[in-house]
Amino acid sequence: MNVHRVVALVLAPQSTFELACAAEVFGVRRPGLTSRYTFGVCAERPGAVPTLAGYDMAVSDGLPALAAADTVVIPGWQRPDEPAPPAVIDAVRAAHGRGARVVAICSGAFLLAQAGLLDHRRATTHWRMAAELAARFPRVEVEPDTLYVDLGDVATSAGTAAGIDLCLHLVRADHGAAHAERIARHMVMPPHREGGQLQYAEPDRADRADRLADSLAPVLDWAAERLHQPLTVDDLAGRAQVSPRTLARRFAGQLGVSPGRWLLQRRVTAARALLEETDLPVETIAARVGLSTAANLRRRFHAVLRTTPGAYRRSFGRH
């Protein structure tokens, strides 16, 4: 198997968290888990790069490192109101032009916009900066409430944990749901948040206690263990001891999706893992994930992933 080369381009002053999002997913070797990526860091010029954490980062590689990258990550750009260095813009454009995937975390979207890689395309960034991105780059179709947007050759994410969500999503795209779930389990992270889910903007102070009390975590965990059962929205509402209408409102507020859509996403994700790791017939997998029949699984699978279970198994199956 060819190892996928990921290179993060750091820019002073570098945010350590955004860089760590990519390093943790792509760069950490974990016991019992096959390493399918190499991870490196480069800067405009080798040497000390200041960080927001108060220390300098020693970077040994310069921009030529991007020439060998399969994926280029821009882990934030802390000076979005300033022009990026021309050499950096040229190197990012060149990497994209030869076929590298270019990924921006949080404010890194501003650099991609400066490079023209987001013109007339969908993108997102931290909700606090979305209006600025849209105003400064009117040709970018900014989605202010989205966790991440993956266009194949270019991907952008919102801030903080959404960077991890995007990196795990890219692992799923590269190597399947099961491999991504193993990495997430090592990180003690939720294995899958859809890119279309809402960003978690800070709630009003008066709402915080209510939101803690209204957490969906217990009902989500309960449902995830019972995907093989014919669960309905009424079942979820009953478990949460609220009306279906109240449950729908909580799902929209906390996850950005309806209860039915969340349940379908979890069932398709479970089907992906079984297609990757077992030789079970599609009919059996459909029953195990609560989609009843092979025909229903194929229909739902195609609606979510735009491919068939058979094609997915050929791409990501263990054989």
pLDDT at 51: 97
Q: What is the mean pLDDT of residues 19-23?
A: 96
Predicted confidence (pLDDT) per residue in 255-287, tens digit? 778 999 999 989 998 999 899 889 999 999 999
Could you tell me the pLDDT band of residue 193, with boundaries at 50, 70 and 90? low
Length of the chain measured in residues = 319
Domain range annotation of the chain:
4-187, 205-319
Q: Do 125 and 143 form a contact (C-beta atoms < 8 A)?
A: no
pLDDT at 199: 56
User: CA-to-CA distance for 218 and 203, rounded, in angstroms?
Assistant: 21
pLDDT at 195: 52
- Residues forming beta bridges with residue 73, ordered by sequence position: 8, 103
CATH class, domain 4-187, is alpha beta
User: CA-to-CA distance for 319 and 317, rounded, in angstroms?
Assistant: 5
Going by C-alpha positions, the residue among 120, 220, 124, 128 that lies closest to residue 166 is 124
Angle CA 99–102–108, to nearest 5:
160
User: CA-to-CA distance for 27 and 40, rounded, in angstroms?
Assistant: 8
User: CA-to-CA distance for 213 and 243, rounded, in angstroms?
Assistant: 16
- Domain 4-187 identical in fold to domain 205-319: no
Buried b (16+ CB within 10 A) or exposed e, 231-255: bebebbbebbebebeebbebbeebb
SS3 135: helix
pLDDT at 212: 37
Backbone angles phi, psi at 295, to 5 degrees: -65, -40
In order of 111, 137, 238, 267, 313, the CA distances from 114 in angstroms are 5, 8, 50, 39, 39
Predicted confidence (pLDDT) per residue in 195-230, tens digit? 555 454 344 333 433 443 467 888 988 998 899 998
pLDDT at 201: 39
Angle between helices 294-305 and 259-277 (to 10 degrees): 100
Predicted confidence (pLDDT) per residue in 222-252, tens digit? 998 899 998 999 999 999 999 999 999 988 8
- Tokens linked to 12: 């002073």
Q: Which residue has the tokens 């190892």?
A: 3
> Would you state the CATH architecture of domain 205-319?
Orthogonal Bundle (1.10)
Highest mean pLDDT range out of 49-58, 143-152, 303-312?
A: 49-58
Could you tell me the pLDDT band of residue 254, with boundaries at 50, 70 and 90? confident
β-pairing, 56-59 with 47-50?
antiparallel
- 73-77, 84-88, 219-223: least confident range: 219-223
- 44-53, 210-219, 254-263, 294-303: least confident range: 210-219
User: CA-to-CA distance for 301 and 62, rounded, in angstroms?
Assistant: 43
Could you tell me the pLDDT band of residue 319, with boundaries at 50, 70 and 90? low
